A and B are shown apart, each in its own frame.
Chain A
Amino acid sequence: MPFLNRDILTITDFDRKDFEELFLNADKILEKKIRKINLLEGKIMASAFFEPSTRTRLSFEAAMKRLGGDVITLVGEEAISIKKGESFIDTVRMLDAYSDIIVIRHPYEGAAKLAAEIAESPVINGGDGKQHHPTQAFIDLYTVRKLKGGIDDLVYGVLGDLKYARTANSFLLALAKFRPRKIYLISPDILRVRPETKDYLTRHNINFEELRDVKDVIGELDILYVTRIQKERFPDPMEYERVKGSYKLTMSILENAKPTLKILHPLPKVDEISRDIDHTEYAAYFTQARFGVPVRMALLTLIFGKEIA
């Protein structure tokens, strides 16, 4: 029972068989097309978003409601006023008193871990600064497994801001638990994967290579995971102007891609993937987004120790 009453703080706490258990559960939820089931009746989820997020929060809340549970929410102005004054620790104590599970998104790294040290209820990290976004990684790998029949033996490209994007970071940490044939880490020099993540890949004997231009490897890729490059990350705006073209995915870049290539993106996307790709077989990000609710339903079910019949 690896998920029972567990905090979900980082994807590194879970191994392949945990992923598999979660994925089988998500399969069941999709097969049965569950709209509403009273598994979590009487349970309350507190969703506390100290940083704006629409998708993550709504999909957690939808998941909880489809399972028959209730939701209380702390977002926007309320959360921001707490951000300024009251201690985060006191806020977590309050949420813990009012609910049975807490989902936290916070701009500071380690916030969810700290919350988990304080709260008695399980805490789910809904994204902490640039560090972790474990439930997104579960969804991402579930998508790969659905589209490709498995996660091992594929060639992955992860493109964009690999230094600050927590989604890319969690995706890489999750892949380290599997046997990808190779991972290409494609980013400008100043947005390379952080050393702690690189060490983690090395410790898990992952074959990876860093490069600047996706065109150099596009023909080899089975999965391309895209994140956005933000202008603000560049100390020199000229440098951004110089490199941005390499991080905008266009149909002409995809000319040399395998026909079976699938492109993932945690969404929301702005202009890092050109719109005409949306309608091609390559685009898997809308499918990926649709798995957000069932995977989170599967996770909540397991944390509360319930069984989908």
Chain B
Amino acid sequence: MSNESLRVRRIKEGTVIDHIPAGLALTVMQILGIKGKEENVIAMVMNVESEKLGKKDILKIEGKELKPEEVNKVALVAPTATINIIKDYAVVKKFRVSIPDEIRGIISCPNPTCITRREQIEPRFKVISRNPLKLQCEYCGTYVNREEVIQQLVK
């Protein structure tokens, strides 16, 4: 973890999501369903200098470890993010998020006449491109871009 992220109080147990593209920390919070009404400490730092990104956001969430599905959601919204798992004030695991080749169930197909909108089945999307993000419904072929993904995830 870089020095500037230490401006905010360190957390004992939890997750630090670093290298979020500047301005997206709030969106990441929303897609993780964090409302701020929970008991745990949440720290958000926005627009700090970053060697890699120029500017970046950082999000620290005490007492939470992300589930694989949540990591995939973060990857879709903030593909540059790194995830640090903190145990007893130390980083015990650090990894960069990655968008899998196939997205299952995280979002629904935006095409109203797609069979996945009618039957109780898990929507599946092929990842056609990561940057810019472009997914394709495996049933109806419809493209889904990053804006649409974010729109659905923050709902």
Contact = CB atoms under 8 A, between A and B. Distances in A.
B143 A110 contact: no
Looking at chain B's contact residues, the main secondary structure is: loop
A106 B117 CA distance: 14
Given A87-B119, A114-B119, A196 B143 contact: yes
Contacts of B120: 87, 89
B113 interface: yes
A130 B115 CA distance: 12
A111 B115 CA distance: 5
B143 A88 contact: no
A88 B136 contact: no
Contacts of B111: 109
A180 interface: no
Interface string B129-155: 000000011111111000000000000
Interface in A83-142: 87-89, 106-111, 113-114, 128-131
A110 B121 CA distance: 12
B119 A196 contact: no
Contacts of A107: 113
B139 A109 contact: yes
B113 A195 contact: no
A88 B139 CA distance: 15
Given A87-B120, A88-B118, A129 B141 contact: no
A106 B141 CA distance: 16
A131 B141 contact: yes
A195 B136 CA distance: 11
A253 B60 CA distance: 68
A199 B149 CA distance: 20
A131 B119 contact: no
Q: How large is the interface on B (under 10, 10 to 19, 20 to 34, 35 or more residues)?
A: 10 to 19
A109 B140 contact: yes
Interface string A183-226: 00000000000111000000000000000000000000000000
Contacts of B141: 109, 131, 194, 196
A106 B113 CA distance: 10
Contacts, number: 52
Interface string B106-134: 00000101111111110000000000000
Contacts of A130: 113
Q: How large is the interface on A (under 10, 10 to 19, 20 to 34, 35 or more residues)?
A: 10 to 19
A35 B25 CA distance: 69
Given A108-B114, A110-B114, A89 B140 contact: no
Among A108, A130, A196, chain B packs the most CB atoms within 10 A around the CB of A108
Given A88-B115, A108-B115, A196-B143, A114 B121 contact: yes
Given A88-B118, A88-B119, A109-B111, A114 B139 contact: yes
A108 B143 contact: no
Contacts of B114: 108-110
Nearest to A130: B113
B141 to A, nearest CB: 5
Nearest to B139: A110
A113 B136 CA distance: 15
Nearest to A87: B119
Interface string B89-109: 000000000000000000000
List of 6 A-B pairs having minimum Cβ-Cβ separation, nearest first: A110-B139, A109-B140, A110-B115, A108-B115, A110-B140, A111-B115
22 contacts: A87-B119, A88-B119, A89-B120, A106-B115, A108-B113, A108-B115, A108-B117, A108-B118, A109-B114, A109-B115, A110-B139, A110-B140, A111-B115, A113-B139, A114-B116, A114-B139, A128-B115, A129-B113, A129-B140, A130-B113, A131-B141, A196-B142
Given A110-B138, A113-B139, A129-B140, 20 more contacts: A88-B115, A88-B118, A88-B119, A89-B119, A89-B121, A108-B113, A108-B114, A109-B111, A109-B114, A109-B141, A109-B142, A110-B114, A110-B116, A110-B140, A111-B115, A113-B138, A114-B116, A114-B139, A194-B141, A196-B143
